[in-house]
């Protein structure tokens, strides 16, 4: 595995590789966990060359958010990358990626004003801007994101399509703990008591899915009831609990196709997100609510 820290070296490399190799790319902010490893394993299987980036992107942090306290472990990230068969690890500095105040940034007009985007203005603009930079540098054939960050996947889907990037987007299944809690770098900030409560998020999403499959389409009643449940049996504060179409992230009208049930809960030092994405029509036909795996 080779570590690259400059844009020029990365671009020179990928321009030569792309002539005869397929490139898989996993962009991350580091502090790699099992969820990231799942992305790397998938990309390793499907491409000749695997490139991983580790860069904590300041553009996607708001003025009161946790940029400085965002967890970092550079040496462990290097070891994980090597163990997962990464060919090239791109680890630029902030100055390398943003040598001056940007004269141009990307503004996300759709899919960004709901869920996390509602209370994090500019966050997905920062995501889209850094990904545009990285896509141009890496020139990947395939790019891999986790379904846990489903809104991000929807935004990236729009970015790739609208800017005509010749890239295939792969959304990889959420990796979970035994109690259903989605793997996240922020889980380490939970107290022991909060960690016990956190598994209830996925249970609550599953309950909402059961209601929809049974034919209950009263979104307000479902979400109000389950929000109250979360705030009664956990110490967390619910930021949102929403049911939308996916990847459009709009209010359902015709009750067919793919839906997302998404939740965000704020604990003392960590804000956790999770979701279930599923095809309502297929679930109703199969009556598989209790046995269907998350999509």
Q: Average the pLDDT over 205-233 and give the result.
A: 95
Task: Say if residue 3's pLDDT is above 80.
Answer: yes
Task: Say if residue 77's pLDDT is above 70.
Answer: yes
Is residue 184 annotated as involved in ligand binding?
yes
SS3 22: coil
Q: How confident is the model at residue 288 (pLDDT cuts 50, 70, 90)?
A: very low
Under CATH, which number does the domain 2-172 receive?
3.40.50.620
SS3 279: strand
Task: Say if residue 75's pLDDT is above 70.
Answer: yes
**Which residue in 125, 117, 161, 107 sits closest to 249, CA to CA?**
117
Query: What predicted TM-score, i.e. pTM, was given to this entire model?
Result: 0.90
| CATH 3.40.50.620 domain span(s) along the chain | 2-172
Which value, to the nearest 10 degrees, does the dihedral of the CA atoms of residues 292, 293, 294, 295 take? -90
Is residue 191 annotated as involved in ligand binding?
no
Q: Which residues are catalytic?
A: 36
180 contact partners, CB below 8 Å, separation of at least 6: 199, 201, 202, 203, 206
Is residue 131 annotated as involved in ligand binding?
no
CA distance linking residue 280 with residue 230, whole number of Å: 24
Q: Average the pLDDT over 64-73 and give the result.
A: 83
Q: Which residues of 69-93 are buried (b: 16+ CB within 10 A; e: fewer)?
A: ebeeeeeebbebbeebebbbbbbbe
Contact 152, 247 (CB under 8 A): no
CA distance linking residue 79 with residue 83, whole number of Å: 6
pLDDT for 294: 41
Between residues 74 and 255, the one the model is more confident about: 74
| CATH 3.30.1300.10 domain span(s) along the chain | 185-283
Q: Name the helix (H) or strand (E) containing 15.
A: helix 7-17
Query: How high does pLDDT run on average in the chain?
Result: 93
* DSSP 8-class letter at 163: T
Class of 185-283 in CATH:
alpha beta
Is residue 164 annotated as involved in ligand binding?
no
pLDDT for 177: 92
Is residue 173 annotated as involved in ligand binding?
no
pLDDT for 284: 58
pLDDT digits 0-9 by tens, 6-47? 999 999 999 999 889 999 999 999 999 999 999 999 999 999
Task: Say if residue 283's pLDDT is above 70.
Answer: no
């Amino acid at each position: 595995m080779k570590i690259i820290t400059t844009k020029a070296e990365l671009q020179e490399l990928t321009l030569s590789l792309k002539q005869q190799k397929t490139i898989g790319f996993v962009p991350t902010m580091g502090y790699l966990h099992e969820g990231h490893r799942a992305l790397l394993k998938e990309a390793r299987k499907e491409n000749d060359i695997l490139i991983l980036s580790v860069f904590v992107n300041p553009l996607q942090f708001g003025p009161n958010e946790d940029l400085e306290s965002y967890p970092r472990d550079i040496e462990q990230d290097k070891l994980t990358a090597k163990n997962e068969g990464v060919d090239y690890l791109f680890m630029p500095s902030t100055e390398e990626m943003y040598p001056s105040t940007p004269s141009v940034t990307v503004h996300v007009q759709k899919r960004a004003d709901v869920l996390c985007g509602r209370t994090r203005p500019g966050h997905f603009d920062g995501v889209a801007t850094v990904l545009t930079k990285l896509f141009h540098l890496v020139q990947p054939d395939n790019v891999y994101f986790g379904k846990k960050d489903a809104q991000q996947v929807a935004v990236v889907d729009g970015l790739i399509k609208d800017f005509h990037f010749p890239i295939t987007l792969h959304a990889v299944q959420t990796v979970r703990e035994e109690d259903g809690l989605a793997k996240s770098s922020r889980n380490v900030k939970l107290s022991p008591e909060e960690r016990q409560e956190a598994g209830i998020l996925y249970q609550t999403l599953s309950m909402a899915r059961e209601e929809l499959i049974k034919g209950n389409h009263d979104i307000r009643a479902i979400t109000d009831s389950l929000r109250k449940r979360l705030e009664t049996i956990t110490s967390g504060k619910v930021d949102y609990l929403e049911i939308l179409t996916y990847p459009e992230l709009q209010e359902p009208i015709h009750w067919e196709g793919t839906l997302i049930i998404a939740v965000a809960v704020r604990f003392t030092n960590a804000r956790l997100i999770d979701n279930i994405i599923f095809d309502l029509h297929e679930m109703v036909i199969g009556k598989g609510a209790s046995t269907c795996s998350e999509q």
